Structure 1
Amino acid sequence: MTHLSVNINKIATLRNARGGNVPNLLKVAADIERFGAEGITIHPRPDERHIRYQDARDLTKVVTTEYNIEGNPNPKFIDLVLETKPTQVTLVPDAIDAITSNAGWDTIAHKDFLKDVIKTFKENGIRTSIFVDANTKMVEGASEIGTDRIELYTESYAKAFDENKKEEGISPFIRAAIVANSLGLGINAGHDLSLDNIKYFKDSIPHLLEVSIGHALICESLYFGLDNVINMYLNKLK
């Protein structure tokens, strides 16, 4: 079964919109696990416009499943990860002013930098994952820098799915997954995955270990409720 990790950035965005502590991020994280999710994901950014660095610290006392911290490995982020020691760190090359992640790593151009960062995390017992496009060359590059897993950036698949071009959209991801499997890399995926498109993606990608879903899941929960939506995802991921 592919594991579901829920990204709770949007919960933090809602809390920050009014100040105070409503909704309570820590309680929501605990409830998400209680509803059946196998992981919690956060993506703190330098401006802390949603997840705050203190949230990352506080969540270590709450999360009992897999704890995944995403982000661009600048010095402040590296220090945070080494302090909190999550189950997994996912390295994402997002710009400081990016609204959301919009590209994977060039694992060839940034090989030396990523190799050093990954070595640091692995020496501290933290599993590493690299955010990459569905490009076999970038997957091969990821293998050379020593990462444990890749996370396939799935926006192009989701867009193709919405345009009724799902076979065309999934093809590069299948090729990338086959290469990853041959190189011994674990496969995660995330970005714009939803209740509509998750099952086809999961059924098409061999040995998909984990999906990280936030924006769509929280939006769908406005209509169906958080508990229901999490279990709808779990059913589709079986």
Structure 2
Amino acid sequence: MTKLSVNINKIATLRNARGGNVPDLLKVAVDIQRFGGQGITIHPRPDERHIRYQDARDLKAVVTTEYNIEGNPQHNFIDLVLECKPDQVTLVPDAIGAITSSAGWDTIKNQEYLTEVIAEFQRNGIRTSIFVDPILEMIEGAKKTGTDRIELYTESFAHQYSLGNEKGIDPYTKAAVLANELGLGINAGHDLSLDNIKFFKENIPGLLEVSIGHALISEALYLGLDNTVNMYLNKLK
């Protein structure tokens, strides 16, 4: 079964909109795990507009499943991850001020830098994953960095699927086959939803984990958080 890690950035966004502590980020994390979620993901950004660095520290005490911290490995982020020691760190090349992630790493151009950062995290017992587009050369480049896993950036698939083009999965299937051959673990995330997750899962051999935030929290407004988490779990079986 593919694991479901729930990204709780949007809960932090809602909290920050009014100040105070409603909704309570830590309680939501605990509840998601109680409902069956198999991991908690956060993506702190330098401006702390949703997840704050202190949230990352506080969550360490309540995440009992898998704790995944995503972000661009700038100095402050690296220090935070080494302090919190999550189960997994996912390296994402998002620009400062970006609304959301928009591309995977150029693993060839950034090979030396990624190799150095990944080695540091691994020396501290943290599993590494890097955000990549479904491009075979980028998968091969990822292998050379020494990373444990890749996370396939799925925006293109989600967009094509919404248009009725199921062929949009083909580059992802090919990327997954190569990753399996190279011994890389496979995660995926970005714009995955209840509408497309089952099809994606069925066509990605060896898919270990999906990280879903925006869609899941949005769907939960109508369906309820407990129900939504379990709907995803059923589709991932």
Q: What one-letter code is carried by the residue in structure 2 that aligns with 1:203?
A: E
CA distance in 1, matches of 2:20, 2:149: 37
Tell me the residue number matched to 1:228. 227
Tell me the residue number matched to 1:215. 214
Q: Deviations over 1:113-170 (max 9, x none)?
A: 000000000000000000000001000000000000000000000000000001x210
Q: 3-state SS of the aligned residue for 1:106?
A: coil
User: Percentage identity across aligned positions?
Assistant: 75
CA distance in 1, matches of 2:119, 2:209: 22
Q: Which runs of 5+ in 1 are unaligned?
A: none
Tell me the residue number matched to 1:165. 165
CA distance in 2, matches of 1:202, 1:37: 17
Q: Which structure 2 residues correspond to residues 92-131 of structure 1 after superposition, within 5 A? A: 92-131=92-131
Instruction: Tell me whether 1:140 sits opposite 2:140 in the alignment.
Output: yes
CA distance in 2, matches of 1:21, 1:145: 40
Q: What one-letter code is carried by the residue in structure 2 that aligns with 1:55?
A: D
Tell me the residue number matched to 2:26. 26
CA distance in 2, matches of 1:188, 1:43: 15
Tell me the residue number matched to 1:12. 12
Q: What one-letter code is carried by the residue in structure 2 that aligns with 1:182?
A: E
Instruction: Tell me whether 1:91 sits opposite 2:97 in the alignment.
Output: no
CA distance in 2, matches of 1:126, 1:76: 17
CA distance in 1, matches of 2:61, 2:218: 27
**4+ aligned runs moved over 4 Å, structure 1:** none
Instruction: Tell me whether 1:59 sits opposite 2:81 in the alignment.
Output: no
Instruction: Tell me whether 1:72 sits opposite 2:54 in the alignment.
Output: no
CA distance in 1, matches of 2:109, 2:45: 23
Instruction: Tell me whether 1:81 sits opposite 2:78 in the alignment.
Output: no
1:36 is displaced (CA, Å) by 0.0
CA distance in 1, matches of 2:106, 2:97: 19
Tell me the residue number matched to 1:36. 36
CA distance in 2, matches of 1:207, 1:175: 12
CA distance in 1, matches of 2:72, 2:230: 31
1:46 is displaced (CA, Å) by 0.1
Q: What one-letter code is carried by the residue in structure 1 that aligns with 2:199?
A: Y
Q: 3-state SS of the aligned residue for 1:152?
A: strand
Q: Which structure 2 residues correspond to residues 147-162 of structure 1 after superposition, within 5 A? A: 147-162=147-162
Tell me the residue number matched to 1:205. 204
Q: What one-letter code is carried by the residue in structure 2 that aligns with 1:87?
A: D
CA distance in 2, matches of 1:7, 1:38: 11
1:177 is displaced (CA, Å) by 0.3
Q: TM-score normalised to the size of structure 2?
A: 1.00
Cα-Cα RMSD: 0.3
CA distance in 1, matches of 2:133, 2:94: 13
Tell me the residue number matched to 1:184. 183
1:97 is displaced (CA, Å) by 1.1
Q: 3-state SS of the aligned residue for 1:115?
A: helix
Instruction: Tell me whether 1:49 sits opposite 2:49 in the alignment.
Output: yes
Q: What one-letter code is carried by the residue in structure 1 that aligns with 2:2?
A: T
Q: Deviations over 1:78-136 (max 9, x none)?
A: 00000000000000000001000000000000000000000000000000000000001
CA distance in 2, matches of 1:127, 1:235: 26
Q: 3-state SS of the aligned residue for 1:5?
A: strand
CA distance in 1, matches of 2:217, 2:119: 34
CA distance in 2, matches of 1:237, 1:79: 34
Q: What one-letter code is carried by the residue in structure 1 that aligns with 2:182?
A: L
